[in-house]
Structure 1
Amino acid sequence: MVFFKRKSQIQPSSKTNLSLSSSMGSMTQSQLNTIISDMLSLPQAGNSCEVMCRDNPITNAGKRKQLLKMLIIVLLPMGILVGMMGNVFISVVKNYYEATGIRTSLFFSVELGQMMRYLQRERDMSALYVGAIGKDTKDYLLRRYPDTDAALANMSQWPVRLANIRTEFQSKDKFLVYLNRHRYQLDQQNRTSKQEMEFYTSVIEIFMSWLYEIVSESRTGAVWKTLVAYQEIIVASEYIGRERGMGITYFARGGFETKEDYLLFLEAQINSNITFQSCKRYSELAYQIYEDQLKTKATLLAPITNMRLMIRSNKSAKRNPSLETANYWFENMTYYQETVRETQKKLAEKIDSQLSLREEEDLEVIISISCIFGVVMVICPLVILGVFKLTVQIQSYSLSIANRTKALNKEKKRTDTLLYQMLPKSVAERLKNNEIIEAEHYSEATIFFSDIVGFTKIAASSSPYQVVDMLNSLYMCFDQRIELYDVYKVETIGDAYMVVSGVPRKNGQRHAAEIGIMALDLVRTVKDLEIPHVPGMTFSLRTGCHTGPVVAGVVGTKMPRYCLFGDTVNTASKMESLGMANKVHISQTTRDILFTIDGFMIEERFDEVVQVREREREV
């Protein structure tokens, strides 16, 4: 046996940083937030997208962000739905007002067509009166004036166009004054039929331009093509009126005065036919109505066709003037024009019924969407309030869970600390994972035993509370010091203190040096440690160390203990019992390992105390 005399210069192991105090105590708020973030699988800093999408609900900033995102999640679909409904609402309202505007334009076009119709008749009679001045023709003309004035008075509106440079068309009153002036000057001025035709035609062309503008403003309507066909019928009626007026002049005078008049007649006839073909191209419905009207009046076209051929074939020949023939031509052409007008009227009714139906449908949609908007405006605040309260409850629940988690974590730390004092940490972790702990053989480890010199006498002169207080202060000091070394405290029995190195964590041959340095540290520390209830008296420590193989394992289930077994334990205990006060007593195996490590001074021991104790043990 050898006697370990002096501590070497070898430094303690890195276990200094693994002090027990680092695992004790309550957590700070930042630590708690980190733990909660881990529990909730919240992303740490680094991924900006995930950080923006997820927040910690236990912080004030996290609460606000979470509440905002919850509201966005709820309100975003509602906002999209409201936006889509608003878009549909605006479109339907636009269609409704467009249909209303088209109907208004349609009514005005009917009034405008009526006005043009009476102007055409007045034009024909005026041309007839100028071409064949007589009492009968004068009566025909005077009967037309009141009809024209009544049609003018019945017009619901009078559109004033800035581009219209003719001041006489700025209002109905100005136009009526302009028209009456022409009528009164008819007998005072020497006018021709051609001039009368041109005058009234220029006036009708102004009204026709208004009609074109009305249809052009309604281009976006669904019935635009039908409106164009309706317009073409009105235009065709005007060309028929021109043809009728030229024909009256022809029969009243017995022929055309000039070749130009004949060409004007042909132009009116050809344009009338072309306009009808255009009407057919835009709307089959309009042309079908026209054909149906002609079928009911099959005998109408025969005399008109014959008289047209008569005019076309006698373009240069003169015939006897005949007011009766002229009136017959007028009556037939007027009847034919009325047929066209009936077509116009029925087509207007068809268009109006379509627009009316569309208005009703649009109005129903507007009312439905308005009701839905009203319901949404009522529900939306309730949803927002519900989401707000639900989010607040979730956040309160999260905070409650966080506080309980904090308390649970604190208790877990205390439990783990107590468990790690009873068992090695690696063994304790395996037990918590319900793993089976089997005994393990360690080929080499160093065991340390110590006890208090004269403990029996001290305990005999002390009360039990004083003994407990004394041992508690001593072992608290020992526990604090051994934290600096790579050792494991096995157990304490009375005044006996057992420590091992190399178990359960293997450290090569470092175990002997760790135990040696620790033993010297405890011996030096205990010299300065006074006995609490005996002032001025310090402790004396007897220690023993031995190195050898051991078997380690957990014993027991209700109160498991990590124990060491083998001759090495017994030998280490003998080394302690044979040791001297405040000296480190080591075995030969420990000495051999320390001898290979530079920095230790070892003295061999041989005295009577050892021999006496050995003989006593042999006996």
Structure 2
Amino acid sequence: MCEVRVNKVAPKTSMKARGRGRGGGGGQGGTPDRPPVTLRRSSLISFEGEDENSRVENSINMVTVLEYQNDMQETIDQVQISTGLGNVTEALQSERAEIAFYLFTNDSVIRGNLTEHFKYTNNLLNELTWPQFRQEHELFNNKILFRIRLDDFRDKITKFDTPSVQAGIAFYNKANYIFLDQLTSEISEKDAAGVWRPLLAYKNMIRAIEHLGISMVFGLQYFGRGALNQKSYIAFVTNDALGYDFLNTSQNFEFWITDRYRSLQESYAWYANITRRRLEVLGRTKIDPDFDKATEYFYAMLGYLDALQKIQYEIRHVIERTLFSEMNASNSHVVIGIALLCVVLLISPVIILLVRMMTRTLQAFSDTLIHKTHELAYEQKRSDTLLYQMLPPTVAQQLKQLKQVSAETYESVTIYFSDIVGFTELSSESTPMQVISLLNALYKMFDSRIELYDVYKIETIGEVYMVASGVPQRIAFKVHISSDTKEELDRVGGFIMKLRGAMEIKGKGFMETYWLIGKHGVVGDRQPLQEKVEEMDVMAENPHSEKVNNNIILL
């Protein structure tokens, strides 16, 4: 029988080798049939054309990516810490089972198997980064103190210095409880990549294995001692129920675990034996101690828990793959963002220089445009001034607005002609520049005078200066003088008006016309100057009428 036991311990050695590889590979065919969807995070870095707003937005987005990457790195670190805690917990669980088997079979197990387990657990403890445990217990203040207490307990166990089975496994139960509490707290606090479902499945699978391992201890007690007291029986039922409850909950979080577990039930040859022995323990029928059944139950449960641990490793690998995939994607985003910012920083001086040059060009163009606008306004004013000199302002405005200028009729206007007496003889005796200077000085004097009154210059032809009042603006009855003033003007004036008679005026029919006769004659035989005005279509009313008397326009 010892030879049989040695052969059955051999698979445990392979489990330890797998444990040294941080959990080993997944069981039952490797990766899940339905691999979990890797959560891809869309790129936050924009490749659009860079402007000030997009550069700020890309900087903010890259900071967000870095924060997200930091969260995932913390999650990976915590998963790695939980991996170390999980390996130590599994080693303690296995060690607890071996010690229980050693105690309940009265040292029938080979002593070297326990020594090998102790060495394996010590190696895992040496590699473990000791965390700050949430549970305050003197044994877990530091690693050295825990190792001393663990070695002391091992010595007592191997010497059968334990007063009872419950006291023998109490230390391992307490240690596993604190390790599992720390492990599950580390898992529950981190979920940066959205892998909460496999994380919770992993957490529940660990607890399921722990409770089933505790129930196995009491099952060994039942078959090795032949009976369970009330306290041990309650402990078996409680841990057995909790173990399968956590196992079912783990399957609810990740449905592919259900397929794995069903495959385990169908492929594991000892599963029916486990179910049968479990029902026997639940029946609590008193039996004779049977070391063969105890050994059979021990190795069957050990293989069953080992298969569950393979599913647990597979869940952990799914979590790690998801996290590393997210980390790689995040690293790509960060690299792209940094490269983009570097490109922006490199081309920014060129952009700034081009913007400054463009600004200067626009400023110079603006100054030139303002200068040209002023010149244009000045030339426009000169053009308008010249146009107003050539045409009446109202007519000029209509022409500028591209309007059609229609002929207008004026009821009453006053026209004035001036002529230089002897201009022909004077011109023949003077140089051209002298004539031009004379006319220019004379007409400037006339222009300055008529600006003081409502008079419009019609034209100048040679020495003739023609002005009109009442056109183009009608100003009848604007200036009034008394009859006495008019008589005085007639007395001192150079001309008198003499009725000529009715004459046909073009466009007006027959109207009364007058002669303008100079008051003072010329020495010699020459007749007084008489200017006929009918050629100019000059019209006037009777000089004795009220309208003529009261509408004299001064020149």
Q: Which fold has the larger relative contact order, with Cα–Cα distance below 8 Å and residues 6 or more apart in sequence? A: 1
Matches within 5 A, 1:122-161: 122-131=95-104, 133-134=106-107, 136=109, 140-155=113-128, 157-161=129-133
Q: Which residue number in structure 2 is paired with residue 403 of structure 1?
A: 371
Whether 2:444 is the aligned partner of 1:471: answer no
Q: Which residue number in structure 2 is paired with residue 243 of structure 1?
A: 215
Which among 417, 420, 427 is matched to residue 385 of structure 2? Answer: 417
What is the SS of the residue equivalent to 1:326?
Answer: helix
- Indicate conservation of the 8 Å contact 1:451/1:542, yes or no: no
Instruction: Give the superposition deviation at 1:288.
Output: 2.5
Q: Which residue number in structure 1 is paired with residue 279 of structure 2?
A: 309
Distance 1:544 1:124, change over 3 A: farther
Which among 361, 383, 407 is matched to residue 351 of structure 2? Answer: 383
Counterpart residue identity of residue 81, structure 2: F
Which ranges in structure 2 are unaligned for 5 or more consecutive residues? 1-47, 499-505, 522-530, 532-538
Counterpart residue identity of residue 375, structure 2: A
Counterpart residue identity of residue 207, structure 1: F
Identity %: 27
Inter-partner Cα distance in structure 2 for 1:416 and 1:569: 39
Which among 60, 66, 78 is matched to residue 51 of structure 2? Answer: 78
Instruction: Give the superposition deviation at 1:499.
Output: 1.2
Q: Which residue number in structure 2 is paired with residue 445 of structure 1?
A: 413
Inter-partner Cα distance in structure 2 for 1:203 and 1:441: 124
What is the SS of the residue equivalent to 1:183?
Answer: helix
What is the SS of the residue equivalent to 1:491?
Answer: strand
Distance 1:302 1:102, change over 3 A: same
Deviations 1:477-518 (A, max 9, x none): 2211211222101122344322111112223443788xxx9x
Whether 2:244 is the aligned partner of 1:273: answer yes
Matches within 5 A, 1:55-94: 78-94=51-67
Which among 214, 223, 230 is matched to residue 259 of structure 1? Answer: 230
- Indicate conservation of the 8 Å contact 2:480/2:551, yes or no: no
What is the SS of the residue equivalent to 1:499?
Answer: strand
- Indicate conservation of the 8 Å contact 1:304/1:332, yes or no: yes
What is the SS of the residue equivalent to 1:221?
Answer: coil
- Indicate conservation of the 8 Å contact 1:450/1:498, yes or no: yes
Q: Which residue number in structure 2 is paired with residue 616 of structure 1?
A: none
Whether 2:166 is the aligned partner of 1:212: answer no
Q: Which residue number in structure 1 is paired with residue 142 of structure 2?
A: 171
Inter-partner Cα distance in structure 2 for 1:327 and 1:456: 157
Instruction: Give the superposition deviation at 1:594.
Output: 5.5
Q: Which residue number in structure 2 is paired with residue 114 of structure 1?
A: 87
- Indicate conservation of the 8 Å contact 2:139/2:146, yes or no: yes
What is the SS of the residue equivalent to 1:306?
Answer: helix
Instruction: Give the superposition deviation at 1:383.
Output: 3.3
Q: Which residue number in structure 2 is paired with residue 340 of structure 1?
A: 308
What is the SS of the residue equivalent to 1:510?
Answer: coil
Instruction: Give the superposition deviation at 1:139.
Output: 5.1
Instruction: Give the superposition deviation at 1:237.
Output: 0.7
Matches within 5 A, 1:7-46: none
- Indicate conservation of the 8 Å contact 1:127/1:194, yes or no: no
What is the SS of the residue equivalent to 1:442?
Answer: coil
What is the SS of the residue equivalent to 1:440?
Answer: coil
Inter-partner Cα distance in structure 2 for 1:542 and 1:272: 142
Distance 1:344 1:507, change over 3 A: same
Distance 1:341 1:599, change over 3 A: same
Distance 1:110 1:286, change over 3 A: farther
Instruction: Give the superposition deviation at 1:129.
Output: 4.3
Counterpart residue identity of residue 115, structure 2: L
Inter-partner Cα distance in structure 2 for 1:464 and 1:140: 143
Inter-partner Cα distance in structure 2 for 1:271 and 1:343: 18
Instruction: Give the superposition deviation at 1:236.
Output: 0.7
Distance 1:379 1:269, change over 3 A: same
Instruction: Give the superposition deviation at 1:542.
Output: 5.5
Counterpart residue identity of residue 102, structure 1: T
Q: Which residue number in structure 2 is paired with residue 284 of structure 1?
A: 255
Deviations 1:229-278 (A, max 9, x none): 0111111110111011111222222212x201000001111001110111
Instruction: Give the superposition deviation at 1:410.
Output: 1.8
- Indicate conservation of the 8 Å contact 2:198/2:318, yes or no: no
Inter-partner Cα distance in structure 1 for 2:423 and 2:211: 141
Distance 1:329 1:487, change over 3 A: same
Distance 1:472 1:600, change over 3 A: closer
TM-score computed with the length of structure 2 as normaliser: 0.75
- Indicate conservation of the 8 Å contact 1:248/1:330, yes or no: yes
What is the SS of the residue equivalent to 1:444?
Answer: coil
Q: Which residue number in structure 1 is paired with residue 13 of structure 2?
A: none
Instruction: Give the superposition deviation at 1:143.
Output: 3.8
What is the SS of the residue equivalent to 1:443?
Answer: coil
Inter-partner Cα distance in structure 1 for 2:108 and 2:423: 163
Distance 1:389 1:158, change over 3 A: same
Counterpart residue identity of residue 194, structure 1: Q
- Indicate conservation of the 8 Å contact 1:445/1:501, yes or no: yes
Deviations 1:167-225 (A, max 9, x none): 43233223212212322344485431111222211111111111111112213431111
Which among 325, 328, 346 is matched to residue 357 of structure 1? Answer: 325
Counterpart residue identity of residue 428, structure 1: A
What is the SS of the residue equivalent to 2:416?
Answer: strand
Distance 1:294 1:328, change over 3 A: same
What is the SS of the residue equivalent to 2:191?
Answer: coil
Counterpart residue identity of residue 306, structure 1: R
Instruction: Give the superposition deviation at 1:474.
Output: 2.5
Deviations 1:74-93 (A, max 9, x none): x9972332344334433433
Q: Which residue number in structure 1 is paired with residue 155 of structure 2?
A: 184
The count of aligned residue pairs is: 477
- Indicate conservation of the 8 Å contact 2:93/2:213, yes or no: yes
Deviations 1:554-592 (A, max 9, x none): xxxxxxxxxx999999979x53x63669xxx99655664
Instruction: Give the superposition deviation at 1:128.
Output: 4.3
Counterpart residue identity of residue 83, structure 2: V
What is the SS of the residue equivalent to 1:441?
Answer: coil
CA RMSD of aligned residues (A): 3.8
Q: Which residue number in structure 1 is paired with residue 518 of structure 2?
A: 578
- Indicate conservation of the 8 Å contact 2:512/2:540, yes or no: no
Distance 1:201 1:588, change over 3 A: same
Q: Which residue number in structure 1 is paired with residue 478 of structure 2?
A: 510
What is the SS of the residue equivalent to 1:148?
Answer: helix
TM-score computed with the length of structure 1 as normaliser: 0.68
Q: Which residue number in structure 1 is paired with residue 39 of structure 2?
A: none
Inter-partner Cα distance in structure 1 for 2:112 and 2:440: 144
